[in-house]
């Protein structure tokens, strides 16, 4: 309890001192005298001498607080723009288009973690009849990601999104247009049409919109999952964790 008090006191003191240093207006209007400010600095210094780990604990607590604020802001953006997120009608929707459980995935087609989790998403769709999985492609890993993302969205125009996506993401040959052509042939698509559709302005616009949406919620990497409007989960989360999160969402959805 005493240690928790010291950590909180340290955070409050550092925040206060930082505010004083960065805001001259607050400095002039502060209720603390120079002697009181000196005493606060002295207490902080003595606390650090006694237990230097207080600093790392305080930094962690500040980071957690900032992360919580960021998540809260992102969830508010998602709640206020359902037509761009959970209720999107322009993105690919896997599972039940009318499902009551919304899961959104932001992914890069060349992200190894996104590739790894593909089979888990298949299992999740098969096991949960109410799952509505909205797929948002965000090519953030360079030019080859853009090529693959364009091709995956072009496959949607031939009603072969998931088949082509899976084949392309698990293909290990060097990236490029010839690879796209070969995978298209392998999956039964018209490769000439696919390559032509890759430059369709609608596809370019969709990718730009997805990247803008990712930025609007402060997306840090792929994959990132949004579970309903209550959780944002970055990284390659396990199948078990996804099931648990959907179970929580289902319970909240069923509440009167």
**Contact between 139 and 108 (Cβ < 8 Å):** yes
pLDDT at 3: 52
Q: Residue 21: is its pLDDT beyond 60?
A: no
Q: Residue 6: is its pLDDT beyond 70?
A: no
Residue 41 vs residue 130, higher pLDDT: 130
Superfamily per CATH, domain 82-254 = Glutaredoxin (3.40.30.10)
Residue 239 vs residue 254, higher pLDDT: 239
Looking at every residue in the chain, the average pLDDT score rounds to: 85
110-144: pLDDT as tens digits: 999 999 999 999 999 999 999 999 999 999 999 99
Count CB neighbours of 109 within 10 A.
25
63-82: pLDDT as tens digits: 666 667 777 888 899 999 99
Going by pLDDT thresholds of 50, 70 and 90, the confidence category of residue 59 is: low
pLDDT at 45: 74
Share of the chain above pLDDT 90, in %: 64
Going by pLDDT thresholds of 50, 70 and 90, the confidence category of residue 24 is: very low
Q: Residue 253: is its pLDDT beyond 70?
A: yes
Q: Residue 84: is its pLDDT beyond 80?
A: yes
Residue 10 vs residue 152, higher pLDDT: 152
CATH 3.40.30.10 spans which residues of the chain?
A: 82-254
């Amino acid at each position: 309890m005493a240690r928790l008090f010291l950590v909180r006191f340290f955070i409050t003191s550092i925040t206060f001192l930082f505010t004083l240093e960065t805001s001259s207006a607050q400095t002039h209007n502060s209720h603390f005298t120079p002697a009181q400010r000196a005493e606060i600095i002295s207490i902080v210094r003595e606390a650090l001498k006694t237990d230097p780990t207080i600093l790392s604990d305080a930094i962690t607590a500040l980071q957690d607080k900032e992360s919580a604020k960021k998540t809260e802001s992102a969830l508010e953006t998602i709640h206020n723009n359902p037509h761009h997120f959970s209720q999107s009608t322009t993105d690919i929707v896997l599972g039940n288009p009318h499902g009551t459980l919304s899961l959104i995935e932001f992914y890069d087609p060349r992200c190894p973690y996104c590739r790894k989790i593909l089979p888990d998403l298949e299992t999740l769709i098969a096991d949960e009849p109410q799952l509505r999985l909205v797929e948002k492609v965000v090519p953030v890993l360079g030019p080859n990601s853009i090529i693959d993302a364009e091709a995956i969205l072009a496959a949607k125009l031939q009603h072969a999104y998931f088949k082509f996506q899976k084949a392309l993401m698990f293909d290990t040959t060097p990236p490029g247009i010839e690879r796209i052509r070969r995978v298209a042939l392998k999956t039964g698509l018209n490769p000439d049409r696919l390559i032509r559709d890759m430059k369709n302005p609608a596809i370019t616009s969709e990718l730009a919109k997805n990247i803008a949406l990712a930025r609007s919620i402060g997306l840090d990497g792929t994959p990132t999952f949004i579970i309903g409007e209550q959780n944002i989960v970055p990284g390659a989360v396990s199948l078990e964790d996804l099931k648990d999160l959907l179970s929580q969402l289902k319970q909240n959805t069923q509440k009167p």
